[in-house]
Amino acid sequence: MINPSITEGVIRTRTKLRQDLLISILDEFDERIMGLDPQSRAEKYRKMAQSAFSFYRGSAYLFYFDATRQYFPYHTSGERPTWIQGDLHFENFGAFRSEDGDIVYDVNDFDEGYVGSYLYDLLRMSVSIALVGRQLGYDTREQTGSIEEYIQAYYRQIRRFVQGKDDPEKFLMDHKQAKGPVRKLLRKLERRRQGHFLEKVTAQMQTGRVFLENTELAIPELAEQEQLEQAWSFYLDTILAPKDNKDHYRIKDIAVKHGSGTASIGLDRYYVLIEGDAGAEELDDTVLEAKEVRVPVPAYFLPYSESFWNFFGHQGKRVAATQQAMHHKADPYLGFLTLEGRYFYVRERSPYKKRLKLQEIADREDMERVLESMGRLTAKMHARADADVNKGILAYHSEREIAAAMGPDSDAFARYIAEWAYAYANQVEKDYAMFTEWVNGRFGVGLPEVPVQDEAVHDALAQEELTQEELVQEELTQEELAQEELTQEELVQDAAVQKAVVQDGVVEDKPVQQELVQEEAVTEDAILEAVPREQLIQEEAAAALEVTAPAERVQVTPVEGEDVRSGPVHGEDIQEPSVNAAGTGDTPIAENTVTNASTEGTIEKPKPVRKRRSGKTSTPIQPSSGSDAPKDPLQAEE
């Protein structure tokens, strides 16, 4: 019989070695490559400490370190890699508006785009499915079954592309193609107004529309503004199909964007308000996002490709080209620019951008339909980003290479991936426990205060999707509905009283009757506004005197975004890419989430008076009738 002290010693040593490895990788990428100071690292790790899934999202480098050192029998040939997304997980799918104006569902993050085996996208996505399943309370069989459903959907769609039954160049997922929760999400967004996001982050001033200031948006330094304006003409030259009217792209205002993403902490991000098309109250103005990017994480672990780096020395160009290659009718504003040697890509901050929330997945049937869509879309982006597109860098059809690598037995392929992903999800949870212990001691970052068992709250933490503003609006909506029911009940009671009076032969009190008619004529819009009379009086008085009340603070309870296959896979040393003036660095896991649901403390109402770039002061124009006063944009829905 083995002495227990021996096994305990073995486990203790293995745990220490793994923790040392974890700390070494975090120090290398976050401190040396990203250059994060202790405060920024603490901010990033606070987000990662919210759950095992949040940790997994923010540590792609650890996944690639592990995955590239393991043998997998289903890799494609090293000479024929796939253009991969690079950081595929459950929350990198979402809805947005395509170039044609259609609301579609697709992958929405391309910051880590690179060339390598298709299998890495499937592996990373499959692990995320297991972790999401654990948040939803799935048992082992349900987790592996969900992964197999995703892999089987991918397998079937790749075969359809190979057989010519579907065309990857034109494949898209709209409300006609989608099923279940994805279809419901798309139909819901089709009813959203164009100005939905614009009105949340901007206000109409006497001098024109400008960004609101709050904890998420700030006025940039004058030097930053000038650099971005000087680089704007370069950006316009990178747009594939620019509009003839150059005034469409005229910059009206610029804001620094804070608080988005996890891996993107330490990288600059700007919102740029442009003229857009002419429209009433400038509601056709468009918000663009300029986001800094660096060398993609997979490049540090996958085989080096000289031709890839020769073509994509500019990291912003790489991200924009990846999205254009993988999307049918991609964002018409996609382009790139350079600020002081740092690379940025530019895209529209779509007012229709939104992810599925886990609470919208009611049961296993819903999950199966969601994973069916995700599997088909993963196959589409792999099959499309090759010889099918003009801007592609691969001269062959990737779907044929992938189909050959997967083999004829779809069940065996899906089962292999599911078993590995489930086992690695177990390792992620162990790493997460070591991580939280380490960051608590070194950075003072503890576990979230909310219990993991609280599914709704934990779900919001994992997705960083339920904004504080949404929660407040949901509470208000419930109050408004209750008030509306009370109003209707009072109207019925008053009508009954009037009827009884008439039947008794008493002359009707006409003023009371007129008041009743007026109450019945209350419009739905007026009920939904639910603005207290005192607030309206104060706002009218402030507008008349052209003065502004000091910023108020609203307490909101926080809820807790060339040889390509030899190398690391076969045990060779990692070769760090040498990019022409590209620098080195970890690229963010794009979470275009405007809000962090876990943000603690108070949120400040937008200041209605601010200094513009010209140094002038503007006074807000009162909204026209029928529109809401500017709300705290804080965080726009995603």
pTM attached to this predicted model: 0.72
Given this model, what pLDDT does residue 547 score?
Answer: 37
Short-list 133, 167, 135, CA closest to 149: 133
- In the predicted model, is pLDDT for residue 228 greater than 80? yes
Q: Which residue has the higher pLDDT, 159 or 190?
A: 159
- Location of structure tokens 């990788």: 25
Per residue in 355-403, pLDDT (tens digit) is: 999 999 999 999 999 999 999 999 999 999 887 776 567 889 999 999 9
- In the predicted model, is pLDDT for residue 89 greater than 90? yes
Place 120 in a pLDDT band, splitting at 50, 70 and 90: very high
Least confident interval from 3-7, 59-63, 155-159, 467-471: 467-471
- In the predicted model, is pLDDT for residue 495 greater than 70? no
Mean pLDDT of the chain, nearest integer: 77
Distance, CA of 291 to CA of 266 (rounded, Å) = 11
Per residue in 297-348, pLDDT (tens digit) is: 999 999 988 888 888 999 999 999 999 999 877 889 999 999 999 999 999 9
Given this model, what pLDDT does residue 278 score?
Answer: 64
- Location of structure tokens 């008794």: 504
Given this model, what pLDDT does residue 234 score?
Answer: 97
Given this model, what pLDDT does residue 290 score?
Answer: 97
- Location of structure tokens 């650099």: 227
Cα separations (Å) of 76 from 79, 452, 525, 548, 624? 8, 39, 58, 64, 60
Least confident interval from 167-176, 193-202, 331-340, 486-495: 486-495
Q: Which residue has the higher pLDDT, 261 or 281?
A: 261
Angle at 425 between CA 422 and CA 427, to 5 degrees: 120
For the segment 80-102, the average pLDDT, to the nearest whole number, is 92
Q: Which residue has the higher pLDDT, 61 or 617?
A: 61
Least confident interval from 36-45, 67-76, 175-184, 437-446: 437-446
Given this model, what pLDDT does residue 463 score?
Answer: 42
Q: Which residue has the higher pLDDT, 501 or 206?
A: 206
How many H helices and E strands in the chain? 19, 14
Distance, CA of 406 to CA of 353 (rounded, Å) = 33
Are 76 and 386 in contact, with CB atoms under 8 Å apart?
no
Given this model, what pLDDT does residue 489 score?
Answer: 52
Distance, CA of 191 to CA of 31 (rounded, Å) = 45
Enter the tokens of residue 45: 């790790």
Q: Which residue has the higher pLDDT, 295 or 512?
A: 295
Q: Give me the amino acid identity at 481.
A: L
Given this model, what pLDDT does residue 84 score?
Answer: 97
Are 598 and 525 in contact, with CB atoms under 8 Å apart?
no
Q: Which residue has the higher pLDDT, 150 or 493?
A: 150
Give strand pairing partners of 93. Answer: 107
